[in-house]
């Protein structure tokens, strides 16, 4: 069986944000299955990483900003602001979808893993996710 649900994330500031609890509170998981998450935006992303120490999320932002700077004179896609083109590149690097196993009615993440929503724009607004559950 396949179920699909559209989720609207609250507005987040630029950075890396844990959304595991949000997903668990908005989705009904079968005993066993697979969750596919897809973000419908080209300037944000999804990833799985450390869920315990918030400094990891701060360091992610620092690393991404240093790797992919804003205000680069060589960028040509600049009409939507200095954070737009870097956001597209960051989104491509991080990715727009995840597959997570479901076991015993819960996301089968590792002990220190959480689902991150990665907001790469300074003012991204609400973001939409498509959650597809295969059981």
Answer yes or no: are the C-beta atoms of 33 and 133 closer than 8 Å: yes
Strands 127-134 and 113-119: unpaired
Separation CA 45–CA 1 (nearest Å):
27
Q: What is the pLDDT of residue 71?
A: 87
Mean pLDDT for the stretch of residues 35-56: 97
| 86-128 per-position pLDDT tens digit | 999 999 999 999 999 999 999 999 999 999 999 999 999 999 9
Q: What is the pLDDT of residue 13?
A: 95
Mean pLDDT for the stretch of residues 63-73: 94
Mean pLDDT for the stretch of residues 11-38: 98
Mean pLDDT for the stretch of residues 45-53: 97
Answer yes or no: are the C-beta atoms of 112 and 18 closer than 8 Å: no
Return the residue matching tokens 């907001």.
Answer: 119
Domains of the chain: 2-134 (2.60.120.460)
- Please state the pTM of the whole predicted model: 0.95
Answer yes or no: are the C-beta atoms of 102 and 118 closer than 8 Å: no
Mean pLDDT for the stretch of residues 31-46: 98
């Amino acid at each position: 069986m396949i179920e699909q649900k559209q989720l609207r994330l609250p507005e987040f500031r630029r950075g890396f944000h844990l959304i595991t609890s949000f997903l668990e509170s908005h989705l009904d998981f079968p005993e066993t299955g697979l969750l596919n998450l897809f973000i419908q935006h080209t300037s944000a992303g999804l990833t799985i990483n450390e869920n315990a120490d918030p400094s990891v999320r701060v360091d992610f932002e620092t690393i991404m900003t240093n790797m992919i700077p804003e205000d680069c004179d060589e960028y040509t896609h600049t009409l939507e602001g200095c954070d737009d083109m870097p956001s597209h590149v960051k989104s491509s690097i991080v990715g727009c979808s995840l597959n997570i196993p479901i076991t015993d009615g819960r996301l089968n993440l590792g002990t220190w893993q959480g689902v991150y929503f990665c907001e790469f724009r300074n003012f991204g607004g609400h973001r939409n996710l498509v959650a597809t559950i295969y059981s």
